[in-house]
């Protein structure tokens, strides 16, 4: 489902949807139970870690 190099939109509850940041998944991080729920995302300014509930995949065929 989520893998490296996929473009995403980072949801932010404090901003309207048109102001959400764009990014690209750099890596995914499995939890202690082996399930992956967090991704590192490279944005224009930095690399941030966000849970999958706060990111939206962009349906692009690259």
Tens-digit pLDDT string for the chain (62 aa): 788 889 999 999 999 999 999 999 999 999 999 999 999 999 999 999 999 999 999 987 65
At residue 59, the pLDDT reads: 85
At residue 4, the pLDDT reads: 84
Rounded distance, CA 47 to CA 59, Å? 21
Which residues make beta-bridge pairs with 58?
none
Residue boundaries of the structural domains of the chain? 7-57
Which residues make beta-bridge pairs with 61?
none
pTM of the model: 0.85
Rounded distance, CA 62 to CA 18, Å? 23
What is the number of other CB atoms lying within 10 angstroms of the CB of residue 22? 12
41 neighbors 24 (Cβ within 8 angstroms): yes
């Amino acid at each position: 489902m989520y893998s490296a190099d996929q473009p995403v939109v980072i949801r932010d509850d404090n901003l309207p949807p048109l102001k959400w940041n764009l990014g690209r998944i750099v890596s995914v991080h499995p939890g202690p139970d082996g399930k992956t729920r967090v991704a590192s995302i490279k944005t224009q300014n930095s690399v941030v870690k966000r849970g999958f509930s706060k990111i939206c995949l962009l349906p692009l065929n690259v």
